[in-house]
């Protein structure tokens, strides 16, 4: 393989990285999968540090992305304009408004939320983000939102759902750990 490394270009590489991650995903992969919706979620998150994309490397062979690596990408500070942040988060190609589930209190306030992504090629759902107003926790609202989102993804054809944590909420809903991701480091200069 004559792969060449270059810097990630946000204007042209988002879709290529997405296709690479979809092709890389293998159910049961014990080494871990970096799922396309995780990439999309991180990339469209309102706190994503756009300046950090200089740390993303792309390796191409004959114009096809064959590897992607990131180095300490961090979330930046929350944006002043929350509406703009929501627009950015919802700008990814797998965002579907019908997979955004909100629980509403009797007074009309939005009190719990679950956003899901659906990747149709490998037919999986990804659960993220999930949040509940602290005054409404421990009432089953987050569980209800997540389960409704999973049901909707199943109706679209999803065969499996992923979430990027082992928090008790997800374990109580039947999610089971599949792999652990570890970051390794080797100091080259002392």
Q: How far is CA 145 from CA 15, 77, 131, 170, 183, in A?
A: 29, 27, 10, 12, 32
Quick check: 5 pLDDT over 90? Answer: no
Q: Residue 74's Cα: distance from chain center in Å?
A: 14
17-62 tens-digit pLDDT = 888 777 777 766 655 566 777 777 777 877 777 777 776 777 777 7
- Supply the DSSP string of 60-99, one letter for each residue: EETTEEEEEE-----B-PPPS-HHHHHHHHTTSTT--GGG
CATH topology of domain 96-184: Aminopeptidase (3.40.630)
pTM over 0.75: no
Mean pLDDT of 127-142: 87
Pairwise pLDDT comparison (27 vs 121), residue with the higher score: 121
- How does residue 70 score in pLDDT terms, banded at 50, 70 and 90? low
144-189 tens-digit pLDDT = 889 999 999 999 999 999 998 889 999 988 899 987 777 788 888 8
Domain ranges across the chain:
1-94, 96-184
């Amino acid at each position: 393989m004559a792969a060449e490394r270059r810097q990630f270009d946000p204007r042209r590489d988002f879709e290529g990285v997405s296709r690479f991650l979809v092709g890389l995903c293998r159910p049961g992969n014990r080494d871990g999968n970096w799922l396309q919706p995780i990439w999309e979620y991180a990339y469209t998150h309102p706190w994503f540090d756009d300046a950090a994309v200089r740390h993303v490397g792309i390796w191409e062979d004959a114009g096809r992305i064959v590897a992607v690596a990131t180095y300490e990408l961090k979330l930046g500070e929350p944006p002043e304009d929350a509406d703009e942040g929501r627009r950015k988060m919802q700008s990814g190609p797998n965002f579907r408004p019908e997979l955004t589930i909100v629980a509403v209190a009797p007074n009309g306030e939005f009190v719990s939320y679950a956003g899901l992504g659906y990747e149709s090629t490998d037919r999986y759902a990804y659960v993220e983000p999930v949040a509940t107003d602290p005054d409404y926790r421990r009432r089953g609202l987050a569980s209800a939102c997540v389960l409704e989102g999973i049901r909707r993804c199943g109706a679209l054809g999803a065969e499996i759902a992923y979430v990027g944590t082992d928090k008790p909420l997800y374990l109580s809903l039947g999610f089971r750990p599949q792999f652990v991701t570890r970051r390794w480091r080797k100091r080259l200069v002392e």
